[in-house]
Amino acid sequence: PAPFATEAESTYVMPQRKLKNAVDTNPLDGDLTPLGSTAKDSESYWVPRIGVKAQIVQGVDCMFDYSQPWGAHTNPGLWAGAQSNMETDIKSNNYATTCSYKMDAGKGQVRFIGGVYYQEVYGFKQDLISPLVPDFQGTGRVDLKGTGWGWRAGLAYEIPEIALRASLVYNSRVKLDNISGTLDLTHVGSVVLPIYGSTQYMPDTVELKLQSGIAPGWLAFGSLKWVNWSLLQSVPICVVGTPAGACVTGDALHSGQITSLDLMYRDGWTVTGGIGHKFNDQWSAAGQLSWDRGTSHGYGSQTDTWTLGGGVAFTPKPNIEVRLAGAVGVLTSGHSGALAGESGYVAGTDVSYDFGNDLVTAISGGLKIKF
């Protein structure tokens, strides 16, 4: 094997989520239903990754990579739920080092995997605060950022002669105990306030991957992944100076929060299965079907997704591989409204809406070079 390799890939995802039958369910702060009962909720986004792999000594390899593992971007604008969300954009940066040690075991090799990563999570949320300001410019905007460290550990077994590989990897949760930012209320005659969020955790994950040759030139593969999204419910946001003990989720009588980022997620599961075929030394292709259990369950529009994907790989030289792929899928239908969390806090009391089965498409490309 080559002692050094580098790869870069990027995926462009184009969800077409559309909201309908939206109703402002809290008219006490102004009934916005006349603004429109429909909205285009989703925005397209990029998912990049860059990695460098090197053989440190015989049997020990290390990978250094950058990725953007978490993110969400909704932009419904002015609609019946503008006081709940006009635009939310969450992004992340992940810088990781992962090493593995390989040793012979039976007919194959066992690989011990371990690593650490540093994660940045940041973004903003903009809502309509006062409908009385002309041209609906009475908005407020929250900007937040948090950082933390995580680790991973895993085990893999492989028999190259039959293209067999099985791996199980755990990625730890990332503690964000330094969430801070600003709340801009200048459009409603106030000031920019320094704010902070209570300690939160980005989810830990467990992923099982399997692959095996099933006939000359043919490969079957599959994976099962669990993501602990239920860690993220409602994030209380408080003005700097509010005691940490009061910065909890709740109503005005039991909480010092000035606003909140309501997510109310449940755990995510992803199941993937597919077939690959090598036509010759230069060309190969694969197709797969994936099911992703949505994190929304009565609040929000992140429902189950079914995706059919396919891709080709071209190897003009033994040390160069070019990959192109595409996917088409269905974002399943559902309803969003009031939802009570385990703490008793109720999210979604300001707007309710429906959404149908919507289209999602994606394209991706990648390049791998070995030295």
What is the rounded CA–CA span in Å between residue 74 and residue 269?
Answer: 22
Q: How far is CA 243 from the centre of its chain?
A: 31
What is the rounded CA–CA span in Å between residue 258 and residue 261?
Answer: 11
Query: pLDDT 10s digit of each residue in the chain, 371 long?
Result: 679 999 999 999 999 999 999 999 997 888 999 999 999 999 999 999 999 999 999 999 999 999 999 999 999 999 999 999 999 999 999 999 999 999 999 999 999 999 999 999 999 999 999 998 998 999 999 999 999 999 999 999 999 999 999 999 999 999 999 999 999 999 999 999 999 999 999 999 999 999 999 999 999 999 999 999 999 999 999 999 999 999 999 877 889 999 999 999 999 999 999 999 999 999 999 999 999 999 999 999 999 999 999 999 999 999 999 999 999 999 999 999 999 998 889 999 999 999 999 999 999 999 999 99
Nearest residue to 327 via CA among 269, 283, 272, 370: 272
Nearest residue to 170 via CA among 157, 153, 150: 153
Q: Which domain holds residue 197?
A: 4-370
Report the CATH number at residue 295.
2.40.160.60
Total domains in the chain come to 1
- Nearest-Å Rg of the Cα atoms of the chain is 23
Q: Are 201 and 120 in contact (CB under 8 A)?
A: no
